[in-house]
Chain A
Amino acid sequence: MNLWQEYKRPTSVMEAVQSLVSASGPALPIAGGTDLLLDLKQGHHSPIHTLIDLTFIPEMSSLELRGDELFIGAAVPVNRVALDPLTGMHAQALVEACNLIAGPQVRNTATLGGNVAHALPAADGTIALTALEAQAEVAGISGTRRMPFTSLFLGPGKSAIDKSREIIVGFYLSKIKKGGASCFKRIMRPQGVALPILNCAVWLERAGDVVNDIHIAVGPGGAIPFRATDAEAALRRQTLNEETFPRTLEVLLGQAKFRSSARRAGADYRKHIVGGLFKDVLDTAWKRAE
């Protein structure tokens, strides 16, 4: 049973969108394809007719500074994201996340676009982009628009993007400022599927001992990639010390909705270990921002 009948290799975003909407059967964009092809093969995805390969589109494979922002094309392999000096400078959390996605061979094809399109609440790249407060550029037949990152998700595995009509072109991140830093870490278990039990990313701006601004993302802390906005508010413009941390953690635990997932982790286990992970990530980002 062939996984696809037709394979298109457009060279521009608009051509890709056109191919998508005008395909003679069910069509999907494919970037890395490391998840999509397996989903098709294992019957986790309804059969499709046409695949639209996005990797031949220069725009979607570019990684560059655009004004005050860093642009990362949705078809850039995560390994390139991890190795590029620009991401190393402006998005260290993303580099750390990308270095942990799957293995090196998969990272050479897998993309951030795919990572985000799968809409998993604890995908490493997604959690890093959540903390970095990325914006997504989405192309449809009527043109392109920008979407705040968390608005891309509707629920576990449910993307707000209509993959049969729209394409994520890339992500915009703010350049790092003085006193800014980020960090990503995760906790795994050695059995079963290679999804983290828990991951966490922090982006912050520091002025001396004071947290000027902070974004905290924890996966899986809810049905969609979770921003710990209450904890952020509790820390913003506060001095970070041994008293503020436990208070912040309490606020985070109050907002996050940890659940039990079969064969990966119980909710209470996640609650038990999130403090250590969060502290580790926060401390590392804090030191980096010095």
Chain B
Amino acid sequence: MSKINLLVNGKQYSVDSVAGETLSTLLRERLRLTGTKIGCEEAECGACTVLVDGEPMMSCVYPAERADGKTIVTIEGLAERVHDEMKLHPLQEAFVEHGAVQCGFCIPGQILTAYALLKRNPNPDSADIRFALKDTLCRCAGYPSIENAIIAAAQALRTGEPVQKPNHIPDSIHDHKTVGRSHLRPEAVEKVTGEAIFTDDLKFDGMLYARARRAMIPHGFLKRLDISKAKALPGVVSVLTAADIPGEKTHGLVIYDWPVMVGVGERVRYVGDAIAIVAAETQEIAEQASALIEAEFDLQPVITNPVQARQEDVPQIHENGNLLKHIKVRKGDMDKGFAESDVILEHTFHTPTTDHAFIEPECSIGVPLPDGRMEIYVGSQIPYQDKTQVARALGWDESRVRVVGQLMGGGFGGKEDIMGQIHVALLANVTQRPVKLLFDRHESLLVHPKRHATQIRVKIGAKKDGRLVAAETELYGDTGAYASLGEKVMTRATTHSAGPYDIPNVRADCYAMYTNNPPAGAFRGFGVTQSAFAVESMMDMLAETLNIEPVELRRMNSLHVGSITNTGQELKESVGLVECINRVDAEMRKTNPHPFKPITDPAQPNLVRAWGFAAAYKNTGLGGGAPDISGADVELYEDGTFQVRSSAAELGQGLVTVMRLVVSEEMSVAPEQVRVLVMDTDLTPNGGPTTASRQTFVTGNASRYAAKTLREEITATMAEKHDVRPEQIRFENGIVHVNGHSMTYAEIYKEMTALGKQPVVRYMYEAPKTQPLGTGGDMHFAFSFGVQAAEVEVNKLTGEVRVLKVISANDVGMAVNPLGLQGQIEGGVMMGLGNCLTEEFIVENGNVVTDQLARYRVPGIMLTPEITSIIVEHPVSTGPYGAKGVGEICSIPTTPAITNAIYNAVGVRIDKTPVDQEMIARELWERNSQ
């Protein structure tokens, strides 16, 4: 066996070569340098980038044996440890300071690629940076912040001066001590040094590796299953089938319709259905064993789309048929509305399935404990539901399961459902050894729920002066093989399908249908992304028909305080839509007074530019009558620091920072004095699902009220002990002033505990009650509003589309952390841009075509336009300091803003996404030849 000698981060290693080993595996598994991340193993995402002899390389396709004699630098090699302190490299520091770190999973690759660039070019401009980072994907997509960070680091390296902090992010207009000002993420430093631990970075003694055998047929009955060859393979410890599930056989977030495994005689509903699971001593053996499992199916006709699924005489995929839910919105009188209309337009739009493509694939580890309990390590958006569902499948009391949530390399709605959690629990229970199940990118793309593909027909009626009087929509949503959150997602698509407008007569019908495609569930925007594309396209079509400016048409119909929404809810406050419209409009017209008129490039007459405009709204919180509850603990420690705890999920969006800032504000201490613990079901109270843009609101409030209650308890205790009135006790700059006497929190701790009072408070916050759809009451407790304008350049010959600028205004109530908000807004625009231009998850007759990242394009830095963010803050009285959700609204108007701009540039109406440049070119040449 030959040796590989290599120098890694200044340390010489000599290791035996292992057949088939890549450099990334050598670094991660043998040298335990887990800062190098694996996103795709296809040389597509760039997360695994390391420097080999100074040049950035994808270590996932680099044979380890080739590294012999080479010098390797990984992310762990950049910072220097000076005594106990990490001295960050200026790039690392700049990434932290500029808010370029969100989920953090891609960051090692970003920083190392940038490091190599700066070695070669100490003063790069934007084009140089984009060229260098072209294929280093960031799905949180804070590309502008990444670019700013690299420019700041380059300057610091050239001049020797400290890294310049960002100076373009304004504070909130609402004045507070801590919240409303830009703060750094508490976990940002570990994410730039490679010390941050994600699930796949964990290793336990005696750990086994699991693999699920997928059906790989879209529809049929499992006739025969033979696991004997797999079981006989040396190194295989356990092979389980549906017959081995001790508890409930199905899982699901709302409806338990998703089999943990499909058993013999049972129905396979999509290619990703599991039919057996394997645990083995190594990953390779688990894969081999999975391939040895023999299965025979009785194939059934495939339901490929929701319209087909609703036809008569087609196979019914579930016991209750193919209809998951018929969702209805009724307001006013449609006959009257259309009779009163001067103009009626009708058009049908189509949107495809799309994938979250978080850079970190799914990973779960089950660890059996000696006391008979089970720990599940997983990056999950809903830890408490994982706990429930794992316990159900094991047939256990929930108290025996502990979910220990890990950092997540992005979620975006795609990590809400059960993926490997139950499978590892079953295998760990049987083998009594820890079991890890890591999806590769292929499996991730096949299995987890996607964004619903939709067909949306919009019929709209208006008066000559532009007033909307009637809107009728009909939606078909492809929820795929299982319900997941399909009913909820399509309900949101339906209730929002007439746009953020005040319309007296509205009717909407949605058919959420089961098909044999991969399931569809939550994905940032939650159905509104699709319906906003349809209705906002329609608004521009109407504007043209009526010869009214698109901005004016929206402004005159906008929801405002006092409006009644389509579900019958009166909006009583916090409706910043008109301000969003006006501010985007003003910004857009600064440089171009006629933004919607096409401008031809005189030097290149094929290139035409124009702006497009779109508006949207999106609920904050679950709504529809669901109790919306989050719990938080705030505890004061002996050393005078605080900890805030909730089992809400940090997936890169910045919730941990929000919780820290809220407690800092309430307790009048520096943010650094507040630690945050999330996602551990033993140690943190239930924060509910991280979905529906709800966590800043609900867990923000829970943290705030817990802190406030603790402060009141301290006040009461000190008042009594020191015999002063409560009003004489003040909290300032980390000090408690008790009638002229100043005490630190450490002293407060001492006095409290001496009196037998534990300084810890749990607060279960319940958001204002909502009403179910159809009852006419308040369906949601808050709405966020967003408006975007996009400037595009279209090539009239080739149909190619480039987005040059996006202006995004979002009414978020109150900006709790403007730096974090910036990242959300940049990423929202980029995800919207991908939705519009690059992304299409293709399924043909139930089989997934886009089963590799190489076939599913998410936008990189090269496609990033200039993004101008405008924060609008119409506070909602029940939100923390007035805040409401932002995660989704910032992504929703992007698609129609771009497609409207394309129409304004070249007159081609896009009614199907993603934009097909060939279709644009074809329409233009056919028009010219007429």
Residues of A near any B CB (own CB < 8 A): 1-7, 9, 30, 33-34, 37-38, 41-42, 51, 53, 55, 79, 102-106, 108-109, 187, 189-194, 263, 265-266, 268-269, 272-273, 276
**Which of B46, B65, B798 has most chain A Cβ within 10 Å?**
B798
Contact of B918 among A37, A102, A189, A194 (CB under 8 A): A189
Q: Which residue of B lies closest to A188 (CB)?
A: B800
Please indicate the chain B residues that have their CB under 8 angstroms from the CB of A189 in the complex.
Answer: 800, 917-918
Distance, CA A214 to CA B24, complexed state (A): 46
Distance, CA A107 to CA B612, complexed state (A): 37
Interface positions, chain B 847-893, Cβ under 8 Å from A, are: 849-850, 852, 854-855, 857, 859, 863
Contact of B20 among A2, A30, A192 (CB under 8 A): A2
With an 8 A cutoff between CB atoms, is B731 at the interface? no
Contact of A276 among B57, B113, B606 (CB under 8 A): B606
Please indicate the chain B residues that have their CB under 8 angstroms from the CB of A34 in the complex.
Answer: 43, 58, 61
- A/B interface sample: 9 pairs, CB < 8 A: A2-B284, A7-B2, A38-B43, A53-B63, A104-B132, A108-B52, A191-B914, A192-B857, A263-B842
With an 8 A cutoff between CB atoms, is B62 at the interface? yes
Known contacts A104-B134, A193-B854, A273-B797, A1 near B66 by CB under 8 Å: no
Please indicate the chain B residues that have their CB under 8 angstroms from the CB of A194 in the complex.
Answer: 854, 857
Q: Which residue of A lies closest to B135 (CB)?
A: A103
Contacts A109-B58, A109-B61, A192-B850 aside, 14 further interface pairs with beta carbons under 8 A come to A1-B288, A7-B17, A7-B19, A9-B68, A33-B63, A41-B41, A42-B442, A103-B134, A105-B46, A105-B56, A189-B800, A189-B917, A272-B921, A273-B798
- Kindly provide the distance from the CB of A120 to the nearest chain B CB, expressed in whole angstroms: 14
Please indicate the chain B residues that have their CB under 8 angstroms from the CB of A5 in the complex.
Answer: 19-20
- Kindly provide the distance from the CB of B137 to the nearest chain A CB, expressed in whole angstroms: 9
With an 8 A cutoff between CB atoms, is B925 at the interface? yes
With an 8 A cutoff between CB atoms, is B429 at the interface? no
Please indicate the chain A residues that have their CB under 8 angstroms from the CB of B566 in the complex.
Answer: none
Please indicate the chain B residues that have their CB under 8 angstroms from the CB of A276 in the complex.
Answer: 606, 797-798
Known contacts A5-B19, A7-B65, A30-B63, A105 near B58 by CB under 8 Å: yes
Q: Which residue of A lies closest to B56 (CB)?
A: A105
Known contacts A192-B855, A272-B925, A53 near B840 by CB under 8 Å: no
Please indicate the chain B residues that have their CB under 8 angstroms from the CB of A191 in the complex.
Answer: 837-840, 857, 914
- Say whether B19 contacts A105, CB under 8 Å: no
- Say whether B797 contacts A109, CB under 8 Å: no
- Kindly provide the distance from the CB of B278 to the nearest chain A CB, expressed in whole angstroms: 14
- Kindly provide the distance from the CB of A275 to the nearest chain B CB, expressed in whole angstroms: 8
Distance, CA A272 to CA B925, complexed state (A): 8
- Kindly provide the distance from the CB of A96 to the nearest chain B CB, expressed in whole angstroms: 13
Q: Which residue of A lies closest to B606 (CB)?
A: A276
Contact of A38 among B2, B42, B918, B922 (CB under 8 A): B42
Please indicate the chain B residues that have their CB under 8 angstroms from the CB of A7 in the complex.
Answer: 2, 17, 19, 63, 65
Distance, CA A183 to CA B10, complexed state (A): 43
With an 8 A cutoff between CB atoms, is B145 at the interface? no
- Say whether A106 contacts B58, CB under 8 Å: yes
Please indicate the chain B residues that have their CB under 8 angstroms from the CB of A193 in the complex.
Answer: 854-855
- Size class of the B contact interface (CB-based, 8 Å): 35 or more
- Kindly provide the distance from the CB of B545 to the nearest chain A CB, expressed in whole angstroms: 31
With an 8 A cutoff between CB atoms, is B256 at the interface? no
With an 8 A cutoff between CB atoms, is B287 at the interface? yes
**Which of B20, B132, B134, B288 has most chain A Cβ within 10 Å?**
B20
Distance, CA A41 to CA B41, complexed state (A): 9
- Say whether B58 contacts A4, CB under 8 Å: no
Interface positions, chain B 795-823, Cβ under 8 Å from A, are: 797-798, 800
Distance, CA A194 to CA B136, complexed state (A): 15
6 closest A-B pairs (Cβ-Cβ)? A103-B135, A2-B20, A190-B838, A7-B65, A3-B20, A103-B134
Please indicate the chain B residues that have their CB under 8 angstroms from the CB of A104 in the complex.
Answer: 56, 113, 131-135
Distance, CA A41 to CA B287, complexed state (A): 12
- Say whether B857 contacts A265, CB under 8 Å: no
Distance, CA A69 to CA B20, complexed state (A): 39
Contact of B46 among A42, A55, A79, A103 (CB under 8 A): A103
Please indicate the chain A residues that have their CB under 8 angstroms from the CB of B201 in the complex.
Answer: none
Q: Which residue of B lies closest to A53 (CB)?
A: B66
Distance, CA A51 to CA B66, complexed state (A): 11
- Kindly provide the distance from the CB of B113 to the nearest chain A CB, expressed in whole angstroms: 7
- Kindly provide the distance from the CB of B310 to the nearest chain A CB, expressed in whole angstroms: 27
Distance, CA A193 to CA B917, complexed state (A): 15
Please indicate the chain A residues that have their CB under 8 angstroms from the CB of B837 in the complex.
Answer: 190-191
Interface positions, chain B 445-468, Cβ under 8 Å from A, are: none
Interface positions, chain B 21-39, Cβ under 8 Å from A, are: 22
Distance, CA A278 to CA B41, complexed state (A): 36
With an 8 A cutoff between CB atoms, is B55 at the interface? yes
With an 8 A cutoff between CB atoms, is B494 at the interface? no
- Say whether B19 contacts A38, CB under 8 Å: no
Distance, CA A37 to CA B925, complexed state (A): 42
- Kindly provide the distance from the CB of A106 to the nearest chain B CB, expressed in whole angstroms: 5
- Say whether A109 contacts B41, CB under 8 Å: no
Please indicate the chain B residues that have their CB under 8 angstroms from the CB of A1 in the complex.
Answer: 20, 284, 287-288, 291
With an 8 A cutoff between CB atoms, is B49 at the interface? yes
Distance, CA A168 to CA B58, complexed state (A): 24
Distance, CA A3 to CA B25, complexed state (A): 13
Please indicate the chain A residues that have their CB under 8 angstroms from the CB of B838 in the complex.
Answer: 190-191
- Say whether A105 contacts B797, CB under 8 Å: no
Please indicate the chain B residues that have their CB under 8 angstroms from the CB of A190 in the complex.
Answer: 837-838, 857, 859, 863, 914, 917
Distance, CA A265 to CA B287, complexed state (A): 37
Distance, CA A33 to CA B134, complexed state (A): 20
Please indicate the chain B residues that have their CB under 8 angstroms from the CB of A263 in the complex.
Answer: 842, 849
- Kindly provide the distance from the CB of B444 to the nearest chain A CB, expressed in whole angstroms: 15
Report B42-81 CB contacts with A as 1/0, cut-off 8 Å.
1100100100100111100111011010000000000000
Q: Which residue of A lies closest to B836 (CB)?
A: A190
Distance, CA A7 to CA B800, complexed state (A): 44
- Say whether B918 contacts A105, CB under 8 Å: no
- Say whether B798 contacts A187, CB under 8 Å: yes
- Say whether A105 contacts B57, CB under 8 Å: yes
Distance, CA A191 to CA B854, complexed state (A): 10
Report B130-148 CB contacts with A as 1/0, cut-off 8 Å.
0111111000000000000
**Which of B43, B131, B136, B859 has most chain A Cβ within 10 Å?**
B43
Distance, CA A119 to CA B872, complexed state (A): 55
Please indicate the chain A residues that have their CB under 8 angstroms from the CB of B921 in the complex.
Answer: 269, 272-273
Distance, CA A266 to CA B922, complexed state (A): 10
Please indicate the chain B residues that have their CB under 8 angstroms from the CB of A265 in the complex.
Answer: 918
- Kindly provide the distance from the CB of A108 to the nearest chain B CB, expressed in whole angstroms: 5
- Kindly provide the distance from the CB of A195 to the nearest chain B CB, expressed in whole angstroms: 10
Interface positions, chain B 390-406, Cβ under 8 Å from A, are: none
Distance, CA A263 to CA B849, complexed state (A): 11
Interface positions, chain B 270-311, Cβ under 8 Å from A, are: 284, 287-288, 291
- Say whether A51 contacts B852, CB under 8 Å: no
Please indicate the chain A residues that have their CB under 8 angstroms from the CB of B52 in the complex.
Answer: 108
- Kindly provide the distance from the CB of A88 to the nearest chain B CB, expressed in whole angstroms: 16
Please indicate the chain A residues that have their CB under 8 angstroms from the CB of B922 in the complex.
Answer: 268-269, 272
Distance, CA A265 to CA B921, complexed state (A): 11
- Kindly provide the distance from the CB of A43 to the nearest chain B CB, expressed in whole angstroms: 11
Distance, CA A263 to CA B133, complexed state (A): 26
Distance, CA A189 to CA B838, complexed state (A): 8
Please indicate the chain B residues that have their CB under 8 angstroms from the CB of A192 in the complex.
Answer: 840, 850, 855, 857
- Kindly provide the distance from the CB of B116 to the nearest chain A CB, expressed in whole angstroms: 8
Please indicate the chain A residues that have their CB under 8 angstroms from the CB of B62 in the complex.
Answer: 33, 109
Contact of B135 among A3, A30, A79, A102 (CB under 8 A): A102
Please indicate the chain A residues that have their CB under 8 angstroms from the CB of B2 in the complex.
Answer: 7
Distance, CA A158 to CA B46, complexed state (A): 29
Contact of A37 among B61, B68, B288 (CB under 8 A): B61
Q: Which residue of A lies closest to B42 (CB)?
A: A38
Distance, CA A170 to CA B131, complexed state (A): 27
Please indicate the chain B residues that have their CB under 8 angstroms from the CB of A42 in the complex.
Answer: 442, 852
Please indicate the chain B residues that have their CB under 8 angstroms from the CB of A108 in the complex.
Answer: 52, 55-57
- Say whether B65 contacts A53, CB under 8 Å: yes
